Amino acid sequence: MTGAAFFAKQVRAKFTADKSLRRRIQDHARDCVRLRAAAYHNRHHATIQKMELDIIRGKLAEWAVHNWIKILRPNVSQPDMNLYTDDQMIELKHAPDLVNGTDRFGVKACRISSKDPSWVFQKTDPLEDNLYFFCQVDEECGSGIVCLSWIVSPDIIKELAAPLRNKAPSKFAVYEKHLLVSKS
């Protein structure tokens, strides 16, 4: 996937996870939080419910992107639903969300209800994936509705990186309003 430099494409694709997948993702999130509660707390997650919602939102987005990509690339990997210890997570920290051959895909999720949608990264993220998929997920994740909003290259992310409003020093965001401007 060469030549993806400075690429941002707005996409309008909708995915609804069935009840079985939603249940599987909810169970996964609960198990992740149980196994790694201290690590999530250190990342400044306010509550157990917030941690679980963040995991659910991310996995719903990964499954949506997986189902969208597999139409053209049937060998794309499925989202990772394994549980990892803190030590294993350090090793896997920069692993792509989805892979197809040598192509690496990152997936980011935010709430559909966001007035100013943004996708958050850690400042230490190496941005090595070929493309990033930005999704919006329903507020409480109960309906399983995911809207695939943008496909973006790492160069656009680097160019549009902005500080978070809550001043989290270890993170940055890409705001949709900046993507809309970069598109024109």
At 74-92, the pLDDT tens digits run 999 999 999 988 788 777 7
Q: Domain limits at 122?
A: 8-183
From CA 83, how far away is CA 25, in angstroms rounded?
A: 12
- Total Cβ atoms within 10 A of residue 134: 27
Q: What is the DSSP letter of 130?
A: S
Counting the structural domains of the chain, the total is 1
Give 63's Cβ-side CA count (13 Å radius): 19
Is residue 120 classed as helix, strand or coil in its secondary structure?
Answer: strand
The pLDDT score that the predictor gives to residue 2 is 43
- The verdict on residue 67 lying in a domain is yes
Rg of the chain on CA atoms, in Å? 16
Q: What pLDDT sits at residue 1?
A: 43
pTM for this predicted structure: 0.89
Task: Give the residue among 6, 121, 138 at the shortest CA–CA distance from 64.
Answer: 138
Q: Would 108 be classed as within a structural domain? A: yes
On whether residue 1 sits in a domain, the answer given is no
**Contact criterion met (CB below 8 Å) for 127 and 154:** yes
Count of other CB atoms within 10 angstroms of residue 10: 14
- Length, in residues, of the chain: 184
Determine, yes or no, domain membership for 3. Answer: no
In the numeric block, which tokens belong to residue 78? 């499925």
- As a dihedral over the C-alpha atoms of residue 146, residue 17, residue 139, residue 121, rounded to 10 degrees, the angle is -60
Contact indicator for 156, 127 with CB cutoff of 8 Å: no
- Tokens of residue 77, six digits: 């990997």
Comparison of pLDDT for 107 and 114, the residue scoring more: 107
pLDDT of residue 184: 52
Mean pLDDT value across the chain: 86
Cβ neighbours around 71 below 10 Å, total: 8
* Structural contact between residues 150 and 133, judged by C-beta atoms closer than 8 angstroms: yes
Please indicate, yes or no, if residue 134 is contained in any of the structural domains. yes
- The reply to whether 177 falls in a domain is yes
pLDDT (0 to 100) of residue 183:
61
The answer as to whether 2 is a domain residue is no
Within a domain: 112: yes
pLDDT, tens only, 33-70: 888 776 665 655 567 788 888 899 999 999 999 999 99
Task: Give dist(CA 106, CA 108) in Å, integer.
Answer: 7
In this predicted structure, the answer to whether residue 106 has a pLDDT above a threshold of 70 is yes
